[in-house]
Copies of this chain bind each other. A is one copy, B any other.
Amino acid sequence: MATLGLIEYADADAEVRQVYDDIMATRKTDRINNFWKAIAHDPATLRRTWESVKQIMSAGALDSLTKEMIYVAVSASNQCGYCIASHTAAARKAGMTDAMFAELMAVVGMANETNRLASGYQVEVDEQFRTY
C-alpha cells in the first residue's frame, strides 16, 4: 500500500472522479494507474500533475511514442522502478517494438557512461558548443 493508500474510483469524491474520468477518456481505458490513486489524497497535485502530463505528452513537434521513450530514458537513469514499468508499458502501447526498446536502452546506457567520462576527465566545453 502506498504511503497514504490508494483512492479507488468508488471511494473518490466528485473532484477526484472528474480527474479520473478525464484520464480514462483521454487514454481510452477503463483503468486508473496506482500512481494517480496514490496522489489523489492531494486533489490539487492530482489535478495539476494530470493537466501537465496531458499537455506535455500529447503529440506535438514530437510524437507520443518518442515522448514515452524519453520518459523511459529518464526513469531508467533515475532508477525509478515504478516509472520504468509503467512508461515501458505505455511506450509499447504507443508502438515501441522490441528492437526500438533495445536501441533506446543502448543509448541510455551509453549516455550514462559518457556523462561520467566527461565529468571524471573534467573536460571543458568546446568553444563552438558554448552558449554563454
Is A94's CB within 8 Å of the partner chain B?
A: no
> Size of chain A's interface in residues, with CB distance under 8 A?
82
How many copies of this protein are present in the complex?
6
Q: Given the complex of chains A and B, what is the CA–CA distance between A70 and B67 in angstroms?
A: 10
Cα–Cα distance between A56 and B109 once the two chains are bound (Å): 10
Report the minimal beta-carbon distance from A1 to chain B, rounded to whole angstroms. Answer: 5
Given A44-B55, A74-B115, are A2 and B109 neighbors across the interface (CB < 8 Å)? no
A interface list, Cβ under 8 A from B: 1-4, 31, 33-35, 38-39, 41-42, 44-45, 48-49, 52-53, 55-57, 60-62, 66-67, 69-89, 97-126, 128-132
Given contacts A2-B121, A42-B102, A45-B117, 7 further A-B contacts (CB under 8 A): A35-B118, A49-B117, A61-B99, A62-B69, A74-B111, A78-B79, A108-B116
